[in-house]
Amino acid sequence: NAGVTQTPKFRVLKTGQSMTLLCAQDMNHEYMYWYRQDPGMGLRLIHYSVGEGTTAKGEVPDGYNVSRLKKQNFLLGLESAAPSQTSVYFCASSYAPYEQYFGPGTRLTVT
């Protein structure tokens, strides 16, 4: 099993550009999450999903949108990137709202 995978691993955007980050899991988990982590900081929850077709806001949802059209995939979109969104983005999945499995992260730089 690949576990949780994230695409891409690195990306550089210019202010105002848009992009989508893809998270995929092969563990048949119901719950999926998107976090961001800034240097020296803990993880902050952006959005999460408790099942296919559902999404909910986390701690820092502004500037991001998500979709969960398939159970195994959770997409994070930035419609108009800003330098404040420079961060490392982690996706995670879990069977229940405990014991999350994390992906390797996507390092995003917005110039």
Partner 1 sequence: LAKTTQPISMDSYEGQEVNITCSHNNIATNDYITWYQQFPSQGPRFIIQGYKTKVTNEVASLFIPADRKSSTLSLPRVSLSDTAVYYCLVEDDKIIFGKGTRLHILP
Residues at the site binding partner 1, with contacts judged by CB under 8 A: 4, 33, 35, 40-45, 48, 58-59, 90, 92, 97-105
Q: How many CA atoms lie within 13 A of 71 on its CB side?
A: 8
Q: Which is nearer to partner 1, 58 or 77 (CB)?
A: 58
Minimum separation from the CB atom of position 41 to partner 1 (A): 6
Q: Which is nearer to partner 1, 33 or 75 (CB)?
A: 33
Q: Which is nearer to partner 1, 103 or 108 (CB)?
A: 103
Q: For strand 31-37 and strand 19-25, is the pairing parallel, antiparallel, or unpaired?
A: unpaired
Minimum separation from the CB atom of position 104 to partner 1 (A): 6
Minimum separation from the CB atom of position 57 to partner 1 (A): 11
Q: How far is CA 6 from CA 15, 16, 24, 86, 107, in A?
A: 22, 23, 7, 17, 11
